[in-house]
Each structure stands twice: as structure tokens, then as C-alpha cells.
Structure 1
């Protein structure tokens, strides 16, 4: 199977760095993987989260597309229940006009932060997630030049190309919706380690060709930690292990700790079990081991594209990780 590699980035704050550094590192990473031959570079949307700086991925899309040449740039994803489909369509119509043929519109329905985020983004109201399929349908209609809500308006600027829509999911619940509406689908294994290939199969089985896509396109996103040896990979993975555990415990996470700090932590039995469970969201090892694990993941889920999220310290090690993968997969 010929596997295409893409990148999912969350603009993480690494120990010793600030928010401005995290955003600058996102841009530097995008330029790096563009040169390496990765297919896509997507950025997530997180709110009121100290350790992740990417709260407005559509702005980052514009900044990164301006500084790269070949890689497709998009969101992973815009949290649609918080926003007007019409406004999202216009935002991405502008981006497509600026960088035709290089923009992806990834969307999701998760809150993207603590419970208060839902109310802060919706003027004190809780968003109606049950209308998400309708929102997606309206978004697609606006993108292709229709006026689905009867207001007799167009999402401008109009153009010859349309940014494709990809639906992100971590439970499989939106897989059928993505198929029925003819969008792409990405399963977030890095969020849900219990992910099952049935979600992708449901997407394939329900897919109906649309103006967006004539054929189904599915991918899987996963954390990856690469070391020169298995032992070194475990050392670097200790940072992500601790960060994910802290989040699950409801503690405030100000940054991703360095492996020097994280590897010194002592855990009780329950914490060790939680860390081991979180490893289902990650692939860890030397580059050949990680390559084999990614190939197995692609075969299991029956996809030919993997989105890799490498959060390790220092930042230079993140760049090296993507370089090693690019060489291993002959990008």
C-alpha cells in the first residue's frame, strides 16, 4: 500500500517557550514538511487551553499558505456548531481565492475546550449539536454557490475551485453523515485510542458522490514519537504521557514538559494504567518500528493517508521526527 503522510499540528507550548513561540514553530514546521513532501498540513481549533496556542486555525491557514509552496493547508478542524455556515464558507472562499487548489476545510462538532467555551462562543447559549448534519449540508451548499437557507445570498468570492470539506470524528458517529454528504472523513485516533475500523467502513459504505468529492477519501490521525532507539523513544514519549495524564485528571496544563522533567515522575498503579491506555493513541519507537506501526494502522483502517502529530521536546526534535518519517516513506 502506497501511504501518503500528512501533518496535524496543535501549536503546542513546549517547556521553556511561550505562545508566540508556539505559533512561530507551527509556521516553521509547516515550511519544513512542505520541503519534505508531506501532502497536507492541518491545524486544530482549541479554546481556553494554555498549552495549545491554535485557537483560530483559519488565520494560521492564511499565514502558512503564504509561506509554503506545495503542501495543502487546512483546518483539523473548524468546530462548526459554534459558527454560521455562511461565514465559514466565505472565510474559506477567500482562502481558496488566495491560494487556489491548496486549501482544505476540515470541520468537527466537538466543543474544543472546557464546558464554558460552548457558552462563551455562543453568547451564553449551548450550541445545538443535533443540527450539525444540517449545518454541514448548508456549508457545502454555500461553498458550491447555492443559497440553502433561502436568504438569496452567495458565499463570495466565487471562483472556479472549491475547497474540499473533510469531516473529523473521534467516535465514528459522524462517519455516516460524512459519507451521505459526500465529504472526506478523518478518524482522530490521537483523541480516541479505542477507535475501531468500523467507523471508516461505515463511511465507505454510506458514501454518495457529491460536488465536493466523486470518490471517498478517508484518513487516520495519530500521535507519533520517534527516537533513534526504542529506549530513546520511550524517553521522549514520557512528555506526552504526562501531558495526556494531566489533562485526563482535570488539571491545568500550562505546557508540555520536557522529557528530562517528565521522565522523573513517579506514578501510582492507576496512573500507570491510564498512561498505558493512552498509548493506544500513539505510535512509539525507532523510525522503522513507527513506519511498521503506521503501515499496520493504514491496513487495519483501510486508508492510504496517515496524519501524524509529533509533540516532543525540544522543537528541533519535532523537525527531526518528520524528517526521519519522510525518509522512511520515501516522500
Structure 2
């Protein structure tokens, strides 16, 4: 199998479960896909939400690395404008020392979250995203063990290796910056269903070699729901359709809707159009359909890695989706 398959997990709090259950399910999923042969397992950063439990990915990946054997673990991603580059570098130098060769540092530019979250994370101030390019450069320097020219400090513990930086984005801005700094780049199609191939083209065309990477390395992350039949996959996807629509409308509820609940919702014409539009953010189907569409996606992006994010309100169906996807590629 030439196409690498990886996982992004947002620790969704599924109906009937608690946030603690969600984190335990993330751990079990990491162990499961590790055995299946997935390449990476990334976890996200979300704050003040009742439907996603992962608020501290740098802590969660420490636990995941300790409970897996082979798979790379990382952040998808750290919202860097909220934090000190020095502190982030020290956290990941510790992780790299504990689990050498298995840690990824994915970072994002967008502050993310509701306005109150942004202020709460920054002592009442809104983060200055204009400083992001300088922050990334400082982070890369710290990770490589260099002394800061002004502060005269190094990020410890020092070591011979450092975790690769993946810059995550849903537009062309981060793609261009990743290319200029010689970092790896992931386009989040599960967030933005349009413009991804253009952003990736900009990354490849503008890439400048660095101490981190001599050649460009890209990937794309997308929602995927795979089931034994197309009919079942479409049924399971109804809950994600409704959840995405609710979030867009500012309708933040305590839990994800079930497929049964979503199947009984009557959409307006505008809502039906939004649901159809949001399908650009996901791939839904049986194993053969999903494999073919993932291969087409990789070809369109000119990448050899797809990051899969499956959210279904049944834990068993979530795990089954990842199993079916890997089986489809291994049998192809």
C-alpha cells in the first residue's frame, strides 16, 4: 500500500457517554489503529465545548504514546498564537526525549474557539496572529537546540533529534508560510471543503529546503464514514451532516445528534444546500467507494498521505469505519 493512512481524533463526546469516556475511547482508538497499521494518530485542541473533550493535546499524546507501540502521535494541532514558543518547544523536546522518532508537532495559526476562549487563554487580550510567522521561526529554532539571540536561553532537554513541525491550515496563508520556512503542511479539508488543492499547489511550488525538510511533504485531512454498504454509510453520516449545520448556525448543543434523530429532521431549502455543500468536507460510502475516493483525493492534492477523521455516534461503527478503510487498501 503506497498511500499512507493516518488518523485525526477530536475526542467527540458521543450520546450516552461522558468527556472521560471520550478520552478513554481516544486511547482505545489509538491502540486499535496502531495495530491496524495506520501511520499517525493526531489529536486536536478545542476549548469550552461540551461535544469535544480534547482541550490539551500535548498532555493527551503523552498518554497515547505510552499506550501504543509503533504509530506516530502528535497534535493536530497546537494553537500557537495562544502560547509561548519557548514553552511549546520545551514540552515537545521532553516528548521527543521520551518517545524519540514518534512525536509530531502540528501547529495552527487560527486562534479557534469562541471569543471568550481567546481572551481566557491570553489574560484578557486577543492573540496577535500577525506575530505567527515569527513565532513559528522561534519555535523551529528552539526545537533545534539553538540559543535565543535576545533571551540567551535554550529549550531543554537538549537532544540529537527534534519532532517534525507540521503546519496545519484551511487556506493558502499557512501553505505559503510552511513553504517559505521549509516545514511540512496539512490542509484541513474537513474544515474547508474548497480551495485545498490550490493551497497545496502553492506549498509545493514555493517550497524552500530547510534544516527540517529538504523536500516538501504534504497531507490532507478529511471526514470519512465507511460502512459495509453505501446505504448504511449514508445513514450514519446524517448525524455529522446535522452537527456541522448546527455549528454553522451557532446552535451548540450538549451532544451529537444520533442518525435516528437526524433522519427525522426536516431541512429548509437553504439548510439542504448547506448540507450538500458540507459534503465537500467528507467522504461517505462502502469500502470500495471510500478507497477510490481517497485515492482520487490524494492524486488531486499530489500527496501520499490522507488523514482520516471518522465521527459516528456509535463507538462500534467508528472503529468499524477505520477497520474497513484499512482493509480496503490492504486488499486492493
Give the TM-score taking structure 2 as reference length. 0.98
Task: Give the whole-Å Cα distance in 2 for the aligned partners of 1:196 and 1:58.
Answer: 27
Task: Give the whole-Å Cα distance in 1 for the aligned partners of 2:15 and 2:197.
Answer: 35
Structure 2 counterpart of 1:25: 25
Instruction: Report how far residue 239 of structure 1 moved.
Output: 0.6
Structure 2 counterpart of 1:115: 115
Stretches of 4+ aligned residues off by more than 3 angstroms: none
Instruction: Report how far residue 21 of structure 1 moved.
Output: 0.7
In the alignment, is the contact (CA less than 8 A) between 2:109 and 2:174 conserved in 1?
no
Structure 2 counterpart of 1:130: 130
In the alignment, is the contact (CA less than 8 A) between 1:243 and 1:253 conserved in 2?
no
Q: CA RMSD in A?
A: 1.1
Structure 2 counterpart of 1:105: 105
Task: Give the whole-Å Cα distance in 2 for the aligned partners of 1:29 and 1:242.
Answer: 24
Structure 2 counterpart of 1:184: 184
Instruction: Report how far residue 148 of structure 1 moved.
Output: 3.3
Structure 1 counterpart of 2:154: 154
Task: Name the SS for the 1:8 alignment partner.
Answer: strand
> How far does the alpha carbon of each residue in 1:25-81 deviate from its partner, in whole angstroms, 9 at most, with x for none?
000000000000000000111111110011100001000000000000000000000
> How far does the alpha carbon of each residue in 1:195-225 deviate from its partner, in whole angstroms, 9 at most, with x for none?
3311111111121121211211100000001
Structure 2 counterpart of 1:210: 210
> How far does the alpha carbon of each residue in 1:5-24 deviate from its partner, in whole angstroms, 9 at most, with x for none?
00001000111111011100
Q: Which runs of 5+ in 2 are unaligned?
A: none
Instruction: Report how far residue 319 of structure 1 moved.
Output: 0.7
Instruction: Report how far residue 149 of structure 1 moved.
Output: 4.7
Kindly tell me the number of residue pairs found equivalent between the two proteins.
331
Instruction: Report how far residue 112 of structure 1 moved.
Output: 2.4
Task: Give the whole-Å Cα distance in 2 for the aligned partners of 1:196 and 1:189.
Answer: 7
Task: Give the whole-Å Cα distance in 1 for the aligned partners of 2:64 and 2:232.
Answer: 31
In the alignment, is the contact (CA less than 8 A) between 2:227 and 2:320 conserved in 1?
no
Task: Give the whole-Å Cα distance in 2 for the aligned partners of 1:11 and 1:196.
Answer: 25
Structure 2 counterpart of 1:198: 198
Instruction: Report how far residue 2 of structure 1 moved.
Output: 2.1
Mapping of 1:77-96 within 5 angstroms?
Answer: 77-96=77-96
Structure 1 counterpart of 2:69: 69
Task: Give the whole-Å Cα distance in 1 for the aligned partners of 2:35 and 2:147.
Answer: 39
> How far does the alpha carbon of each residue in 1:108-162 deviate from its partner, in whole angstroms, 9 at most, with x for none?
0112211111111000111110110100000000000112352111100011211
Task: Give the whole-Å Cα distance in 2 for the aligned partners of 1:96 and 1:321.
Answer: 31
